[in-house]
Structure 1
Amino acid sequence: MGTETRHLSVHIDRPVAAVYAFASDPANLPRWAPGLGGSVTREGGAWFVDTPAGRAGLTFAPPNDYGVLDHEVRTPSGETVYVPLRAIADGDGTEVVFSLRRARGMSDAEFERDTALVESDLARLKAVLESTD
């Protein structure tokens, strides 16, 4: 049996190119996903975020024309978490879809907590992007 996955989405009233440009820049993460960490830095070609548990590494999908915003987070404990994320054109706007995967051994309460955190981040992404010109 595969991992349980929830596809969480939000519609953003901005063109897909604008959403992709903003969300694909790791430096913008603190503005819309503050739970991941408060400060993002680039050292050489690598991105890092300071989390409550320590420093984590970030690797984003290479720039592409398909709206793929997938990234990996290397936690301070050494675990790598794959994060599927897409920006999909939806008329004049964009649908952003985050595929939340339930980690092995995660309780129902933990999965619900993570779901609420991702939904909050997506709502923040929508608010930030719809408030810019």
Structure 2
Amino acid sequence: MSTRSRHLSVHIDRPVAEVYAFASDPANLPRWAPGLGGSVVREGGRWIVETPEGRAQLTFAPRNEYGVLDHEVVTPSGETVYVPLRAIADGDGAEVVFTLRRSPGMSDADFERDAGLVSADLALLKKVLETTSA
């Protein structure tokens, strides 16, 4: 079964290694993706995020030299959501690309809402990295 995807991206005026280091640390998620949850903690080797719906588990791709920031979120309901995310060198800066996948049965309005939320998170990531020494 195929799903519709949309690639959302942002250019960040910071070296790709810095962008990757910051974005690959789950502890930083509340600083740039607050919609996911308010706090992220490490419990027994797992990353747990407190969401409005309850506790979710995060599993990130192992550290790598390719900028792969893919992760899985096991939602409070038990659904596993795969999130493709990349940090790509772009001159002296970086482009961060998020692939938003449309879930089966998702309405157009919900897909557009999610795209807006992801775009806001990417804009916040840019702001945090360009205005602070992450």
TM-score by length of 1: 0.98
SS at structure 2 position matched to 1:78: coil
1:44 Cα offset (Å): 2.2
Q: What is the rounded CA distance, in whole Å, between the counterparts of 1:58 and 1:112 in structure 2? A: 24
1:116 Cα offset (Å): 0.2
- Residue by residue over 1:1-21, the C-alpha shift from the partner in whole angstroms, topping out at 9 and shown as x without a partner, is 620000000000000000000
- Residue by residue over 1:61-103, the C-alpha shift from the partner in whole angstroms, topping out at 9 and shown as x without a partner, is 0000000000000000000000000000000000000000000
SS at structure 2 position matched to 1:103: coil
Residue of structure 2 in register with 1:96 after alignment: 96
Residue of structure 2 in register with 1:86 after alignment: 86
Q: What is the rounded CA distance, in whole Å, between the counterparts of 1:10 and 1:22 in structure 2? A: 15
Cα RMSD of the aligned pairs, angstroms, is: 0.7
Structure 2 segments unaligned to the other structure (5+ residues): none
Matches within 5 A, 1:7-86: 7-86=7-86
Q: What is the rounded CA distance, in whole Å, between the counterparts of 1:13 and 1:7 in structure 2? A: 20
SS at structure 2 position matched to 1:65: coil
Q: What is the rounded CA distance, in whole Å, between the counterparts of 1:122 and 1:98 in structure 2? A: 8
TM-score by length of 2: 0.98
Residue of structure 2 in register with 1:120 after alignment: 120
Q: Which amino acid aligns with 2:22?
A: F
Structure 1 segments unaligned to the other structure (5+ residues): none
1:132 Cα offset (Å): 1.8
